[in-house]
């Protein structure tokens, strides 16, 4: 059994030997060991945690991944797979040293079957590139995490990633048919396949969302969907946030399942309008962005039901985007919100709780109260349709004590989500960040069963140690909580989720 306490720092001689062994597998240009180069890989999209690997390697095939994993096992070194590093929970960090396997050179679309509606891809393929590949034939890949311009399918598998359109189409796991996996002992195994059902337990289903602790996916079979005939996007503007919350349930109560229902609060609207001018009214308490898709026939009738539900809930203004340009502008406002926070605050911390959607009015009130009680401000922009909150607590890391208050408020919000029957993560994963919050929603027995499942896949614990389960973080340098927007986010070109 792997025990981090017995891991000593590598001597220079041993490091040279290991480097040679890795070069023999992936070639000299496929191995990084210089501390300056390794720095790039010390954190993911959440800068709360940092950890340095001893090596970063760039395999180009399942066989190379298997050989690297085999070497790691023989040398008893921990290892972790990494995609684009856009994760938001520290899940791909080498928390206990060892190897990082970057899969960014395995980024091919291997096969597309338009007749049977699936594609076989490598894990380093960027999410959006799959939709670009199949787009000309009228298809797309449905799960659309907001980092989809950068994040990879392999990372999506690890985190069971979501996105705005999961309300109607489900999350990553609902679109994965099969996986070729390098197991933590180096064996290459197929779980599931190209057909809908496979013999035995649904190992594909448990692998997706296992945050890199069950092995490394090297081929991924995903469903691709036909693009809908028609799309309609409606903006509803409210003077009270409670009205907007109530409208979410009212839409559902009218028998509609929109493709997406996103909420944006006043602080966020003002930041977005200052930055980009997307057409959201600055004085609104909240806005809902509702998108319908499907057949052209009946689209107007459904849009009319949405408008009616929002008006009945007290919307002061409801309008449909007149054309694709206006629709894109509205979505830009939603998607560039995180960059816009940079205009109103030096830093922010993003939360990822989930609640039953009927609890939205109460929970949003409580979130605002909790943050205010800590002397801080919060902006909310989130997937209201499926109750997936993203409170962003704004603060200034230069003010002494403010970070600690952010962390305390964050923990209270997680507790609140748990208390109303919700969850501590809707799409960002547990990783390192929330592992100590797991007992908020799971008993010791629940966690013990998960540990047994992990033992079946990863008995030595060498594959991505220190994640998901409550554990001490002694090997990890806990840095500042701050998230500072990346330059492309500030320009509204990309977003965090």
Chain-centroid distance of CA 167 in Å reads: 15
- Cα(451)–Cα(457) distance, integer angstroms: 10
Contact call for residues 176 and 157 (beta carbons, < 8 A): yes
Helices and strands in the chain: count of H runs, count of E runs: 17, 20
Q: Does residue number 162 form part of the binding site for other proteins (CB under 8 A)?
A: yes
Which segments of 175-268 are extended strands (E)? 176-182, 188-192, 216-223, 225-226, 230-238, 260-265
Binding test (CB under 8 A) with other proteins, winner from 2, 238, 276, 442:
442
Q: Which is nearer to other proteins, 329 or 441 (CB)?
A: 441
Q: Give the Å distances, CA to CA, from 111 to 33, 43, 195, 374.
A: 34, 33, 15, 53
Give the interface segment with other proteins, choosing from 50-58, 145-153, 259-267, 439-447 (CB under 8 A): 439-447
Binding test (CB under 8 A) with other proteins, winner from 252, 285, 307, 407:
252
Using DSSP, state whether 126 is helix, strand or coil: strand
Q: Does residue number 307 form part of the binding site for other proteins (CB under 8 A)?
A: no
- Report 228-247 residues binding other proteins (CB under 8 A): 229
Min CB(351)–other proteins separation in Å: 13
Q: Does residue number 202 form part of the binding site for other proteins (CB under 8 A)?
A: yes
Residues in the chain: 497
Q: Which is nearer to other proteins, 386 or 402 (CB)?
A: 386
Chain-centroid distance of CA 211 in Å reads: 11
Min CB(438)–other proteins separation in Å: 7
The structure tokens 């390098």 sit at: 182
Q: Does residue number 354 form part of the binding site for other proteins (CB under 8 A)?
A: yes
Min CB(118)–other proteins separation in Å: 9
Binding test (CB under 8 A) with other proteins, winner from 358, 368, 460, 471:
358
The structure tokens 């691709």 sit at: 224
Binding test (CB under 8 A) with other proteins, winner from 429, 461, 465, 485:
429
Provide the edge-to-edge strand list for the sheet that holds 176-182.
109-113, 118-121, 216-223, 176-182, 188-192
Min CB(249)–other proteins separation in Å: 4
Binding test (CB under 8 A) with other proteins, winner from 3, 61, 399, 455:
455
Min CB(236)–other proteins separation in Å: 17
Binding test (CB under 8 A) with other proteins, winner from 70, 190, 460, 473:
190
- Cα(428)–Cα(432) distance, integer angstroms: 11
- Report 132-161 residues binding other proteins (CB under 8 A): 159-160
- Cα(369)–Cα(33) distance, integer angstroms: 48
What residues pair up with 358 in beta bridges, in sequence order? none
Q: Sign (positive/negative) of CA torsion 205, 153, 231, 383?
A: positive
Q: Which is nearer to other proteins, 10 or 350 (CB)?
A: 350
Give the interface segment with other proteins, choosing from 14-22, 182-190, 330-338, 372-380 (CB under 8 A): 182-190
Binding test (CB under 8 A) with other proteins, winner from 24, 39, 40, 295:
295
Task: Quickly count: other Cβ atoms within 10 Å of residue 99's Cβ.
Answer: 24
Binding test (CB under 8 A) with other proteins, winner from 16, 20, 226, 491:
226
Q: Does residue number 439 form part of the binding site for other proteins (CB under 8 A)?
A: no
Q: Which is nearer to other proteins, 281 or 470 (CB)?
A: 470
Torsion angle defined by CA atoms of residues 174, 89, 462 and 62, in that order, rounded to the nearest 10 degrees? 50
Task: Quickly count: other Cβ atoms within 10 Å of residue 285's Cβ.
Answer: 17
For every residue of 403-429, DSSP letters joined together read: HHHHHHHHHHHHHHHHHTT-BS-SSS-
- Cα(38)–Cα(52) distance, integer angstroms: 7
Over the window 76 to 105, marking each residue x when it contacts other proteins by CB under 8 A and - when it does not, the resulting string is ------------------------------
Q: Which is nearer to other proteins, 191 or 275 (CB)?
A: 191
- Report 15-54 residues binding other proteins (CB under 8 A): none
Binding test (CB under 8 A) with other proteins, winner from 28, 39, 404, 449:
449
Q: Which is nearer to other proteins, 123 or 145 (CB)?
A: 145
């Amino acid at each position: 059994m792997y025990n981090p306490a017995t891991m000593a720092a590598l001597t220079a001689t041993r490091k040279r030997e290991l480097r040679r062994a890795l070069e023999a597998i992936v070639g000299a240009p496929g191995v990084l060991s210089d501390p300056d180069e390794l720095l790039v890989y010390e954190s993911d999209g959440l800068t709360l945690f940092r950890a340095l690997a001893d090596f970063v390697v760039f395999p180009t095939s399942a066989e190379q991944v298997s050989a690297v994993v085999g070497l790691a096992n023989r040398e008893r070194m921990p290892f972790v797979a990494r995609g684009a590093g856009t994760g938001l929970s520290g899940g791909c960090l080498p928390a206990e040293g060892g190897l990082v396997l970057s899969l960014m050179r395995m980024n091919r679309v291997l096969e597309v079957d338009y007749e049977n509606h699936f594609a076989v891809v490598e894990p380093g393929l960027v999410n959006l590139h799959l939709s670009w590949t199949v787009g000309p034939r009228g298809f797309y890949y449905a799960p659309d995490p907001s980092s989809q311009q950068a994040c990879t399918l392999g990372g999506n598998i690890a985190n069971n990633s979501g996105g705005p359109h999961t309300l109607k189409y489900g999350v990553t796991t609902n679109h994965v048919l099969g996986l070729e996996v390098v197991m933590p002992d180096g064996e290459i195994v197929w779980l599931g396949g190209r057909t809908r059902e496979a013999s035995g337990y649904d190992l594909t289903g448990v692998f997706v969302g296992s945050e890199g602790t069950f092995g490394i996916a090297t081929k991924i079979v995903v469903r691709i969907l036909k693009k809908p005939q028609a799309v309609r996007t409606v903006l509803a503007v409210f003077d009270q946030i409670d009205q907007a919350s109530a409208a979410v349930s009212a839409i559902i109560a009218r028998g509609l399942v929109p493709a997406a229902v996103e909420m944006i609060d006043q602080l966020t609207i003002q930041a977005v309008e200052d930055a980009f001018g997307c057409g959201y009214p600055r004085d609104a308490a909240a806005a809902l962005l509702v998108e319908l898709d499907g057949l052209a026939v009946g689209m107007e009738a459904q849009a009319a039901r949405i408008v009616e539900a929002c008006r009945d809930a007290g919307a002061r203004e409801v309008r449909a985007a007149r054309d694709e340009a206006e629709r894109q502008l509205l979505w830009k406002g939603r998607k560039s919100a995180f960059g816009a926070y940079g205009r109103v605050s030096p830093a922010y911390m993003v939360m990822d709780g989930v609640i039953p959607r009927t609890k939205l009015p109460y929970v949003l009130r409580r979130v605002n109260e909790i943050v205010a009680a800590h002397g801080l401000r919060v902006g909310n922009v989130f997937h209201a349709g499926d109750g997936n909150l993203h409170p962003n607590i704004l603060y200034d890391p230069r003010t002494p004590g403010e970070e600690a208050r952010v962390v305390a408020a964050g923990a209270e919000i997680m507790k609140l989500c748990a208390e109303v029957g919700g969850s501590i993560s809707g799409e960002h994963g547990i990783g390192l960040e929330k592992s100590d919050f797991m007992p908020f929603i799971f008993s010791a027995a629940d966690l013990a069963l998960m540990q047994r499942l992990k033992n079946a896949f990863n008995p030595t614990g060498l594959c991505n140690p220190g994640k998901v389960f409550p554990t001490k973080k002694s090997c990890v340098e806990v840095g500042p909580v701050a998230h500072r927007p990346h330059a492309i986010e500030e320009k509204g070109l990309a977003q965090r989720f």
